[in-house]
Amino acid sequence: MLTKNQSQINLRSDAGLATALRVSLARLTRRLRRQAAAHSLTPTQFATLAAVERHSAITPGELAELEKVQPPSMTRVIAALEERGLVSRTPHPTDRRQVTVTVTEAAQKLLKEERRLKEAWLSQRLRELTAEERSILRQAAPILEKLSRI
C-alpha cells in the first residue's frame, strides 16, 4: 500500500515549499546517516574533520558556529577525533583560554578515502537521475548551503 501519491503538497506557497523541503531533507539525512554507519567516521565527525581541514588552526568555538551546534557538542566531537589521532589540539598563540585545532596527516589520508566511500551512495543515486534533474540540483546546492548557514 505504498503506492499512493504521498505529496499533494502545494509547492506554490512558501509554506508548501517549506513543508516539502523539510520532510525530504529529514528523510534524506536519515538515509545518509545510515549509509555512513558502515564506515569508520560518523557523519558529524566527518563533517567536522572536513571543516577543520578547510580552516586549519580553527578554534572549537568557531567550529561550533560553523556547524551550527553548541560548543559542548563540538567539544565532544573534537575529543573523539583527537582520541583517534585525527586532530591535534594546541594552545592558542596569544589567548590561553582558546585552543587551536588542526588535522593530522593521518586525517588527510583518511578524509580522502572516506570521501570516496561516503559519497558513493548519493553519487550512485545522482547518476540515476536525468541530466536535467542533476542540473537543477547543481543550481539548488548553493541555495541550500546558504539556507543552512543562516
Partner DNA sequence: GCCCTATAGTTAGCAAAGGTAATGACTCAT
Partner DNA sequence: ATGAGTCATTACCTTTGCTAACTATAGGGC
Binder among 42, 84, 102, 117 for DNA (CB under 7 A): 42
- The C-alpha angle with vertex 31 and arms to 66 and 33, in degrees rounded to 5, equals 45
Task: Tell me: does residue 25 bind a copy of itself (CB under 8 A).
Answer: yes
Q: Which residue has the cell 540540483?
A: 137
The option from a copy of itself, DNA, none interacting with 117 (CB < 5 to 8 A, set by class) reads none
The option from DNA, a copy of itself, none interacting with 1 (CB < 5 to 8 A, set by class) reads a copy of itself
* Of 12 and 96, CB closest to a copy of itself: 12
Task: Tell me: does residue 140 bind a copy of itself (CB under 8 A).
Answer: yes
Task: Tell me: does residue 117 bind a copy of itself (CB under 8 A).
Answer: no
Rounded distance, CA 85 to CA 53, Å? 14
* Of 96 and 149, CB closest to a copy of itself: 149
Q: One-letter amino acid identity for 43? A: P
**36 φ, ψ to 5°?**
-75, -20
Per-residue mark of binding to DNA, 55-94 (x: CB under 7 A): ----xxxx-x--xxxxxxxxxxxxxx--------x--x-x
- The C-alpha angle with vertex 116 and arms to 112 and 121, in degrees rounded to 5, equals 155
Rounded distance, CA 96 to CA 89, Å? 12
Task: Tell me: does residue 58 bind a copy of itself (CB under 8 A).
Answer: yes
